[in-house]
Chains A and B, each alone.
Chain A
């Protein structure tokens, strides 16, 4: 029996529930020696701004127990270079979701407009973890009013399925999920990295040049599962689960908690073929449990 791995995320049909997470798979071409993108559910490309953007000085990353800290600061080639150079280089049958961000809602919206006009994109993921300049630097995703304003700006800018990637650095993820639903988003993706700090006791300084960074990797998986579960209880929007996934068992856990698809992030660094192995492992899991379609697992947590 070959299990049916297909699923759907916010109206985007997916071959299987395994996608590559934004910021951990470049623009896709970098992954081609290691994965055939057509074999995955899809790719969420690195976040794009209206103009090219340079990141922080080094050190930008540090390893942590079962994870890593990063503060790259969203370095990217800009939306126009992406559309001209990166998008055409991808295999035609890969499912590609673009990610966008900006420091003001209007800048996000303009990136969405450019992406909307392009061929070959299945959807747009809004990276709501960028500091909102006009709100004094607090992340869009940390404040319900800012998040609402952001989605309201982006929604009319595109007819593509609109996903919102949520920050875990909030008191109530359910509240943020409800904001997304209320403003007409088509789906939510969670979680982004957990705000964190590493200190070098020898120098008495933060390890990263930026000071604070985002924690990712297996260390954050239980936090992510909890938040996906809570969000799934709060809204009927489709959810893409993200956070420390490195195995098919992890992916199954996210589906059980209510995710309809998952994204593999930091594991791509640890093993660039991880996503393909997770997809194969999902098929094995279904066979082992006599499950005909992986979609049967969505929200099937026994509580």
Chain B
């Protein structure tokens, strides 16, 4: 018996204890045999203290799967708080518990697609870009060059890539949404800070383009029991962990998002 599932998305989830292959300020790679197959945009909860011995931090951290190669699961992030700082300084061989894959990821585009990633949000988009088969444009933006997560991987893909940084250290100086146009027939996929997503959603609405956005929230569990990760939508709330993190831009109450 399984909890409420959505075909092709979170039908399988599991807890496996993985081992650190390597870690750095912006990336963590784990060897996690037994982690079920996932869809682009799905996430995992990473517990850095699998035995609950230190309990500081107590809670696992929700992280989009950046890429999977064999048993190696890769995550990309910025060191913004205690959890991500620890995550970026783990020694090879250390144990990390992984619960996942979780949530509803992206549906692969059926035609032309525009992917917009801002900051840490870039990490949710790599596999979507890699697995897309139609004409693909990717716009990536970050505060500074070091935070353009996985830029080298996107460069290796067959896509039209544009890059911007707020400080001008790489690509065009400015925001990823500055001068961003949506071409006829394109579907839009975006992940980044709420302000960026709001701007992308407005552009998509104007162009009448379908737009999927991946949001983030503090989460305690990641699989629908703590009910801590709600976002406001037209008819109430959605749980980002089980009903997201990818939502249709049109159903969100953007004015009520922080």
Chain A interface (Cβ < 8 Å from any Cβ of B): 24-26, 29-34, 54-55, 57-63, 65-68, 70, 72, 75, 89, 91, 217-218, 246-247, 266-274
- Give Cα A183–Cα B102 distance, bound, in whole angstroms: 45
In this complex, what residue of A is CB-closest to B217? A58
Q: Which of B224, B228, B232 contacts A70 (CB 8 A)?
A: B228
B93 on the A face (CB < 8 A): no
- Give Cα A57–Cα B55 distance, bound, in whole angstroms: 27
B151 on the A face (CB < 8 A): no
Give chain B nearest CB distance to A245 CB in angstroms.
10
Give chain B nearest CB distance to A241 CB in angstroms.
18
CB distance A60 to B58 under 8 Å? no
Decide yes or no: A54 and B236 within 8 Å by CB, A33-B13, A61-B218 being known contacts.
yes
B221 on the A face (CB < 8 A): yes
CB distance A25 to B225 under 8 Å? yes
Decide yes or no: A272 and B52 within 8 Å by CB, A32-B1, A68-B58 being known contacts.
no
B56 on the A face (CB < 8 A): yes
Decide yes or no: A246 and B55 within 8 Å by CB, A54-B237, A68-B220, A70-B228 being known contacts.
yes
* Sample of 20 further A-B pairs with CB below 8 A, known A26-B224, A246-B55: A29-B1, A29-B4, A30-B225, A31-B225, A55-B237, A58-B230, A58-B231, A58-B258, A59-B228, A61-B218, A63-B59, A63-B220, A65-B56, A66-B58, A72-B228, A217-B58, A246-B52, A267-B52, A271-B15, A271-B52
**Which residues on B sit within 8 Å (CB–CB) of A58?**
217, 228-232, 258
Decide yes or no: A91 and B256 within 8 Å by CB, A54-B236, A61-B226, A270-B58 being known contacts.
no
Q: List 13 A-B contacts (CB under 8 A).
A: A24-B226, A31-B225, A54-B236, A57-B230, A58-B217, A58-B231, A60-B228, A63-B218, A63-B220, A68-B220, A218-B58, A266-B220, A272-B15
Q: Which of B3, B50, B56, B258 contacts A29 (CB 8 A)?
A: B3
- Most chain A beta carbons < 10 A, residue from B217, B229, B236, B237: B237
CB distance A66 to B228 under 8 Å? no
**Which residues on A sit within 8 Å (CB–CB) of B217?**
58
- Give Cα A30–Cα B237 distance, bound, in whole angstroms: 19
Give chain A nearest CB distance to B68 CB in angstroms.
19
Contact with A along B223-255 (1 / 0, CB 8 A): 111111111100011000000000000000000
In this complex, the interface size class of chain B, counting residues with CB under 8 Å from chain A, is 35 or more
B41 on the A face (CB < 8 A): no
In this complex, what residue of A is CB-closest to B257? A58
**Which residues on A sit within 8 Å (CB–CB) of B13?**
33
Q: Which of A267, A272, A273 contacts B223 (CB 8 A)?
A: A272
In this complex, what residue of A is CB-closest to B14? A33
Residues of B contacting A: mostly: loop
**Which residues on A sit within 8 Å (CB–CB) of B227?**
55, 60, 72, 75
CB distance A66 to B56 under 8 Å? yes
Q: Which of A30, A61, A65, A89 contacts B224 (CB 8 A)?
A: A30
Give chain B nearest CB distance to A15 CB in angstroms.
19
**Which residues on A sit within 8 Å (CB–CB) of B228?**
58-61, 70, 72
- Give Cα A273–Cα B47 distance, bound, in whole angstroms: 12
Give the residues from 89 to 125 in chain B that come closer than 8 angstroms, CB to CB, to chain A. 97, 99
**Which residues on A sit within 8 Å (CB–CB) of B57?**
63
- Give Cα A217–Cα B59 distance, bound, in whole angstroms: 10
Give chain A nearest CB distance to B55 CB in angstroms.
5
CB distance B226 to A269 under 8 Å? yes
- Most chain B beta carbons < 10 A, residue from A30, A217, A247: A30
CB distance A70 to B55 under 8 Å? no
The 3 closest A-B pairs by CB, nearest first: A61-B228, A269-B220, A26-B225
- Give Cα A63–Cα B219 distance, bound, in whole angstroms: 9
**Which residues on B sit within 8 Å (CB–CB) of A63?**
57-59, 218, 220
CB distance A91 to B225 under 8 Å? no
- Give Cα A31–Cα B222 distance, bound, in whole angstroms: 12
**Which residues on B sit within 8 Å (CB–CB) of A270?**
47, 49, 52, 55, 58-60
Q: Which of B1, B99, B219, B237 contacts A89 (CB 8 A)?
A: B1
**Which residues on B sit within 8 Å (CB–CB) of A271?**
15, 47, 50, 52, 97
Give chain B nearest CB distance to A250 CB in angstroms.
10
CB distance A67 to B52 under 8 Å? no
CB distance B56 to A273 under 8 Å? no
Decide yes or no: A70 and B226 within 8 Å by CB, A59-B218, A246-B52 being known contacts.
yes
CB distance A33 to B226 under 8 Å? no
Decide yes or no: A32 and B225 within 8 Å by CB, A54-B237, A58-B217, A63-B57 being known contacts.
no
In this complex, what residue of B is CB-closest to A76? B227
- Give Cα A58–Cα B218 distance, bound, in whole angstroms: 10
CB distance A32 to B2 under 8 Å? yes
Give chain A nearest CB distance to B83 CB in angstroms.
9
**Which residues on A sit within 8 Å (CB–CB) of B58?**
63, 66-68, 217-218, 266, 270
Decide yes or no: A247 and B226 within 8 Å by CB, A91-B1, A268-B221, A269-B221 being known contacts.
no
- Give Cα A70–Cα B220 distance, bound, in whole angstroms: 10
**Which residues on A sit within 8 Å (CB–CB) of B232?**
57-58
